[in-house]
Structure 1
Amino acid sequence: MGEHLTLQVPETLYGTYAVALDEPIPDPAALAHTEVTRRTAPPLRDLVLGMLDSPMLTLD
Structure 2
Amino acid sequence: MADKKDYYTSLSWEKKDLVAVFLDIPPLRKQPEKYKHGGGYDMCTAIEEMVQDGKKRGRVKG
TM-score by length of 1: 0.28
Which is strand-richer, 1 or 2? Answer: 2
> Comparing both chains, which one has the higher relative contact order based on Cα–Cα distances under 8 Å and sequence gaps of 6 or more?
2
TM-score by length of 2: 0.27
